[in-house]
Amino acid sequence: MEGLLDACMRDILTEAGGFDLCVTEFLRVTDKVHPLKKFRRVCPELDRGWRTSAGTPVVLQLLGGVPEVMAGNAERAVKLGAPGIDINFGCPSKPANRRDAGAVLLKDPGRLYDIVKAVRAVVPQDVTLSAKIRLGYDDTSLLFENVAAIGEGGADFITVHARTKADGYVPPARWEWLAKIKEVSPMPVVANGDINSVDDYRRCIEISGCKSVMIGRGAVSNPGLAGEIKAALAGELPIKLDWIHIHSLLTGMAESRKETHDDCRIAMRVKQWLIYLQKEYDEAGQCFKTISRLNAYSAMSPLPL
Ligand SMILES: Cc1cc2nc3c(=O)[nH]c(=O)nc-3n(C[C@H](O)[C@H](O)[C@H](O)COP(=O)(O)O)c2cc1C
């Protein structure tokens, strides 16, 4: 997730457990094949065999609308050892959509087909190719055509954020549409959107019929969520991580950025995470209140428990 789940956060969340796979923030692709340093910036894990510190594989996400250039970047990523390529057809951001990338492409299934086919041509079968979509741009009228285009283009699976671009992030995610996709498409569908608890997971699986889910904001608010889901699947009682544990993750996140980020940027990251954490932990709300006026991490450290 752009601006939120960078390599540092991927390390922390996958160390907390429960994830089978994670995806980078998007690498924006416009008119050229990026140099190595750009791939490394989006995915520093490429120097560790494309795995987080916990050993979880990391897939590279590409965002762009020009088939040949998308393919060129995918080919480079594969040469660098990427275990998978994910194509972002869901990004709602105005700058991206204005420049012909992200959700705007859902208006034209032919474009999706061309992009996926071009990328598949350079991504061997042992490297997964997936696409992330929304239900549509303004509405769901092209959903099944879009899914078919991606399948015919050669994607191995599809992740569907169960909202249109017009829906933005307004709840609830419409999981029932995922079941409709599964009726018409042989491609595996990964369900995404509003899975914030084990109960949400269970309801989503039941309504959508999907076997796999992608969790985003829910894992940022509750870093133990993937582990809780895995525990529930194993028939164990899911146990929520306590605030002391979360506080140590938060402090670890801030401390580990000291070599790469300045004091102000670390403070911003701490506040950003606390805003998510306070949805699940009252103590995070208290902590946020105490430090909200401070703009340097050195001034807020040690973070209040
Ligand atoms: C701050 C933010 C950044 C995001 N960045 C990306 C991104 O780079 N690539 C992507 O596929 N989705 C991105 N998303 C969308 C999420 O992956 C996900 O589809 C959406 O938040 C719904 O799932 P959730 O309810 O589990 O968060 C982003 C969402 C947010 C809130």
Task: Tell me the pLDDT of the chain (305 aa) as tens digits.
Answer: 999 999 999 999 999 999 999 999 999 999 999 999 999 999 999 999 999 999 999 999 999 999 999 999 999 999 999 999 999 999 999 999 999 999 999 999 999 999 999 999 999 999 999 999 999 999 999 999 999 999 999 999 999 999 999 999 999 999 999 999 999 999 999 999 999 999 999 999 999 999 999 999 999 999 999 999 999 999 999 999 999 999 999 999 999 999 999 999 999 999 999 999 999 999 999 999 999 999 999 999 999 99
Strands (E), the chain: 22-28, 58-63, 84-89, 128-136, 157-164, 189-192, 212-214
| Cα(305)–Cα(145) distance, integer angstroms | 51
Ligand 1 pocket mutation pick from 26, 93, 164, 217 by most atoms within 8 angstroms of CB: 217
Torsion of CA 275, 276, 281, 287, to 10 degrees: -30
Which residues participate in catalysis according to the annotation? 91
Q: How far is CA 152 from CA 68, 156, 180, 265, in A?
A: 18, 10, 18, 43
Q: Whose CA is nearest to atom 12 of ligand 1?
A: 1
Pocket residues for ligand 1 (CB within 6 Å)?
1-4, 25-26, 61, 88, 90, 132, 161, 192-195, 215-218
Q: Whose CA is nearest to atom 16 of ligand 1?
A: 216
For ligand 1, the distance from its centroid to the CA atom of residue 171, given in whole angstroms, is 14
Please state the atom number of ligand 1 nearest to the C-alpha of residue 86.
11
pTM above 0.85, yes or no: yes
- Token digits for 31? 């008119």
For ligand 1, the distance from its centroid to the CA atom of residue 287, given in whole angstroms, is 25
For ligand 1, the distance from its centroid to the CA atom of residue 302, given in whole angstroms, is 30
Residue 207 · residue 175 · CB < 8 Å: yes
Whats the size of the chain, residue-wise?
A: 305
For ligand 1, the distance from its centroid to the CA atom of residue 177, given in whole angstroms, is 18
